[in-house]
């Protein structure tokens, strides 16, 4: 039996997350954002209608709007939608509250591009999200998917260690997320795209270095573990198959 998303757990977590969100709530540097958008070919939107699916605070959708897309963000959490609309507003971006499993949220064949910014793993039943977003995407439209790489064993091990450390650290507890979250490998995502008659155009596995800023009040043991994790990423990078190496996956598909 396929597990359904616990909406109340998701809402409770992100309403609390919104209260503690500082700045833009970003983990990536501008250099990383630019690298990702370059890989996606999202340089100039030329007014294309884009859905930032599960937009959160709008960190992706706003940057895509600045690149010429007419971006609509959709998120389940009302508090995150308010942050997306009021904090550092950007022309061409507007967020609404909505459930990405609700087929009636948008009209059929509405968007030119649907962008998933590290949010698919919040849905135990990805088939429902794919069905809805495929319905909203125009024929010939593009899906751009960015996800933590569940095919990378370092990611899997880190997540399990994080669960253990969450008993000792509120910061680690917050990073684990909700019961809805799980690891997704590239083959599983490709399978769902294929089931929805999406043509795979490109797929990437990318890595980048994560550094803890000086002065960050992270406990020494966690700082040490982050350092070990970063070293492990480097060591396995030349051993694993290409799609298993990076900490993030990028996939581009077209509706046929």
Chain center to CA of 125: 16
Residues 6+ apart with CB under 8 A from 112: 48, 49, 50, 138, 141, 142
Q: CB of 77 within 8 A of CB of 11? A: yes
Percent of the residues in the chain that have a pLDDT greater than 90, as a whole number: 58
pLDDT, residue 256, reads 93
Give kind and range of the element (H or E) at residue 87: none
- Coil, strand or helix: which one is 89? coil
Q: Distance between CA 164 and CA 167 in Å, rounded?
A: 6
Q: Distance between CA 4 and CA 188 in Å, rounded?
A: 17
Q: Torsion angle, CA of 222/56/136/49, rounded to 10 degrees?
A: -110
- Burial class, 46, CB count within 10 angstroms (exposed 0-12 / middle 13-18 / buried 19+): exposed
Which architecture does CATH list for 7-255? 3-Layer(aba) Sandwich (3.40)
pLDDT, residue 160, reads 60
Predicted TM-score (pTM) of this structure: 0.85
pLDDT, residue 159, reads 64
Name the phi and psi angles at 107, rounded to 5. Answer: -70, 160
Question: 253: which strand partners?
Answer: 143, 200
pLDDT, residue 153, reads 77
pLDDT, residue 143, reads 97
Q: Distance between CA 208 and CA 211 in Å, rounded?
A: 10
Residue-level pLDDT, tens digit, the chain, 256 residues? 668 999 999 999 999 888 877 654 466 888 889 999 999 999 899 999 999 999 999 999 999 999 999 999 999 999 999 999 999 899 999 999 999 999 999 999 999 999 999 999 999 999 999 999 999 999 999 999 999 998 887 776 766 665 555 555 454 455 567 888 888 999 999 999 999 999 999 999 887 766 555 555 666 766 676 677 777 777 777 777 778 878 889 999 999 9
Q: Distance between CA 249 and CA 151 in Å, rounded?
A: 9
pLDDT, residue 21, reads 78
Q: Distance between CA 91 and CA 62 in Å, rounded?
A: 8
Please report, for residues 3, 18, 61, 191, 250, the alpha-carbon distance to residue 71 in angstroms, rounded to integers and kept in the order given: 31, 21, 6, 27, 19
pLDDT, residue 25, reads 47
């Amino acid at each position: 039996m396929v597990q359904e998303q616990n909406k109340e757990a998701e809402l409770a977590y992100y309403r609390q997350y919104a209260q503690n969100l500082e700045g833009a709530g970003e983990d990536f540097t501008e250099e990383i954002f630019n690298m990702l958008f370059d890989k996606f070919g999202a340089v100039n939107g030329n007014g294309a209608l884009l859905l930032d699916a599960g937009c959160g605070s709008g960190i992706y959708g706003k940057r895509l709007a600045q690149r010429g897309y007419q971006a609509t963000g959709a998120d389940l959490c009302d508090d995150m939608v308010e942050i997306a609309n009021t904090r550092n507003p950007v022309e061409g971006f507007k967020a609404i509250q909505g459930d990405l499993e609700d087929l009636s949220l948008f009209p059929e064949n509405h968007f030119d591009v649907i962008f998933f910014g590290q949010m698919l793993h919040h849905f135990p039943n990805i088939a429902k999200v794919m069905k809805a977003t495929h319905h909203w995407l125009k024929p010939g439209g593009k899906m751009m998917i960015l996800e933590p790489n569940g095919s990378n064993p370092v990611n899997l091990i880190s997540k399990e260690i994080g669960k253990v450390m969450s008993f000792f650290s509120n910061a680690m507890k917050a990073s684990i997320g909700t019961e809805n979250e799980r690891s997704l490998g590239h083959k599983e995502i490709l399978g769902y795209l294929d089931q929805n008659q999406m043509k795979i155009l490109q797929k990437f596995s990318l890595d980048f270095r994560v550094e803890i800023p000086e002065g960050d009040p992270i406990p020494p043991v966690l700082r040490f573990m982050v350092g070990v994790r970063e070293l492990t990423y480097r060591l396995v990078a030349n051993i694993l198959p290409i799609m298993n190496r990076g900490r993030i996956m990028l996939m581009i598909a077209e509706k046929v």
